[in-house]
């Protein structure tokens, strides 16, 4: 039986596993129960060396070759938002009409379900090729993408040759995405009684000028040289202003910004651009900084990092991309669409920080991420499971 036939045979198995995952909520830093469920599924699929790391990410292995290939799925999800916008309960995991419904079905528990099926297919085929294949079910991605892999690589010494992110790609092959960072701007004013505003310096007006300056900066940002990733962006996501009272000129303001980084841009460049834009707009008494993430994992482990997530891409002719094309073509009889994500993934750490080649291939649509009434297609789950099982063989042929 071919790999694709195997994936189709296990269609109900994959959908059932995804449904069960959805029914056990797991948000960033509270994934313990979902990890416990996944550990049981990994064991049933035949994985070996099943264990959790210090942050609580779960890993399981198939094969024991000299090279290391990792499939990664973050298994935390965002919250449900406004429950009234959901047509079915967000954690129902309903399976019907060729779909699996619920929070995380695309972002990105669908990838996790397909990984488990791929492991089962490889295990039943007695895979003994060139690769040790690790399946990683990682935590805290929604709060701080890449933190889990920064920890695995830098603190636990995990070594890998290639990685596949199973974030949703509509079963297209992705080879990069823009990086991102978070920027906080603090502005000082001078308070005075609101009846005589000329006596003070309004932090609110400075904040308004700063916001308009950043809007202009966004329009000036450029694309990468080959146009693959597109232009960088900056948006003011929060403005907070305060003072001694409602009848006073405010003396403090804070602007929070989301900055997307194209190829060739980094944190130092981005902060310098913000400082220059504010100075040119006549804003004074300000500071610009990159905040830090510092939340304890469900294990109790506290691992901090700055909120900077480097840009990454690999060439279209990279052996990992070509092997992905070979695997897809061999399964489905046509070449895949090769593209990029709009959002950010754990690859910011694996490839962005540590230069380990990554590709992306996942079931479901990027547009489903963080949206109400999230769904995934069972057909996508089958395709992804087959692709993951086929990729090690394509890498060996390459």
In tens, the pLDDT along 219-264 reads 999 999 999 999 999 999 999 999 999 999 999 999 999 999 999 9
For a pLDDT cut of 90, what percent of the chain falls above it?
99
Chain CA centroid to CA 24, Å: 20
Residue 160: is its pLDDT beyond 90?
Answer: yes
The pair phi, psi for residue 113, each rounded to 5°, is -65, -40
**Options 53, 141, 201, 267, the catalytic residue:** 141
Res. 151 pLDDT band, cuts 50 70 90: very high
Mean pLDDT of 265-281: 98
Report pLDDT digits (tens) over 314-352.
Answer: 999 999 999 999 999 999 999 999 999 999 999 999 999
pLDDT score, position 90: 98
Res. 49 pLDDT band, cuts 50 70 90: very high
pLDDT score, position 195: 97
Tokens, residue 188 = 């000082």
Taking the domain 3-177+311-397, which CATH number applies?
3.40.630.10
What is the C-alpha separation between 259 and 349, in angstroms, rounded?
17
Res. 131 pLDDT band, cuts 50 70 90: very high
Residue 109: is its pLDDT beyond 90?
Answer: yes
What is the C-alpha separation between 337 and 170, in angstroms, rounded?
10
Residue 201: is its pLDDT beyond 90?
Answer: yes
Cβ of 245: how many Cβ atoms within 10 Å?
A: 10
What is the C-alpha separation between 114 and 112, in angstroms, rounded?
5
Residue 141 appears among annotated catalytic residues: yes
Mean pLDDT of the chain, nearest integer: 98
Residue 187: is its pLDDT beyond 90?
Answer: yes
Taking the domain 179-293, which CATH number applies?
3.30.70.360
3-state SS, residue 364: coil
Cβ burial of 221 (10 Å; 0-12, 13-18, 19+) is middle
Report pLDDT digits (tens) over 69-105.
Answer: 999 999 999 999 999 999 999 999 999 999 999 999 9
**Options 31, 72, 76, 374, the catalytic residue:** 76
Res. 1 pLDDT band, cuts 50 70 90: confident
**Domain residue limits, the chain:** 3-177+311-397, 179-293
pLDDT score, position 92: 97
What is the C-alpha separation between 183 and 236, in angstroms, rounded?
9
CA distances from 210 to 182, 198, 206, 279 (A): 16, 20, 6, 9
Give yes or no on whether 3-177+311-397 and 179-293 have one common fold: no
pLDDT score, position 398: 81
Residue 97 appears among annotated catalytic residues: no
- Please state the pTM of the whole predicted model: 0.95
pLDDT score, position 286: 98
**Helix ranges (DSSP H) in the chain:** 3-9, 11-22, 32-45, 110-124, 147-154, 203-220, 267-280, 319-332, 347, 378-397
């Amino acid at each position: 039986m071919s790999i694709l036939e195997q994936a189709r045979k296990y269609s109900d198995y994959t959908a059932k596993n995804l449904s069960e995952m959805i029914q056990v909520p797991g948000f960033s830093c509270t994934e313990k129960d979902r990890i416990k469920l996944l550990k049981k599924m990994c064991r049933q699929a035949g994985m070996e060396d099943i264990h959790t790391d210090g942050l609580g990410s779960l890993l399981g292995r198939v094969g024991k070759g000299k090279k290391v290939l990792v499939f990664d799925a973050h298994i935390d999800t965002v919250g449900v938002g406004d429950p009234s916008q959901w047509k079915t309960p967000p954690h129902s995991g309903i399976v019907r009409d060729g779909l699996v419904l619920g929070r995380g079905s695309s972002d990105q528990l669908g990838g996790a379900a397909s990984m488990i099926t791929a492991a089962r297919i490889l295990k039943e085929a007695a895979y003994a090729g060139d690769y040790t294949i690790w399946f990683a079910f990682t935590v805290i991605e929604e709060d701080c993408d890449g933190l889990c892999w920064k920890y695995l690589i830098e603190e636990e010494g995990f070594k890998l040759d290639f990685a596949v992110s199973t974030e949703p790609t509509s079963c297209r092959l992705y080879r990069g995405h823009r990086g991102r960072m978070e920027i906080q701007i603090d502005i000082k004013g001078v308070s005075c009684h609101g009846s005589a505003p000329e006596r003070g310096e309004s932090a609110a007006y400075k904040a308004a000028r700063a916001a308009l300056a950043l809007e202009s900066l966004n329009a000036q940002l450029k694309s990468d040289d080959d146009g693959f990733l597109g232009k960088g962006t900056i948006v003011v996501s929060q403005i907070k202003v305060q003072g001694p009272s409602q009848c006073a000129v405010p003396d403090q303001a804070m602007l929070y910004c989301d900055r997307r980084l194209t190829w060739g841009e980094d944190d130092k460049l981005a902060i310098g651009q913000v400082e220059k834009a504010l100075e040119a707009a006549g804003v004074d008494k300000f500071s610009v900084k990159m905040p830090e993430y510092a939340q304890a994992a469900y294990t109790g482990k506290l691992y901090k990092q700055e909120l900077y997530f480097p840009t990454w891409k690999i060439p279209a002719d990279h052996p990992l991309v070509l092997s992905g094309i070979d695997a897809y073509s061999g399964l489905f009889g046509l070449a895949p669409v090769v593209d990029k994500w709009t959002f950010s993934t754990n690859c910011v750490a694996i490839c962005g920080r540590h230069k380990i080649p990554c590709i992306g291939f996942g079931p479901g649509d990027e547009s489903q991420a963080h949206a109400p009434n999230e769904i995934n297609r069972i057909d996508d789950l089958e395709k992804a499971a087959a692709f993951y099982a086929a990729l090690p063989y394509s890498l060996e042929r390459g």
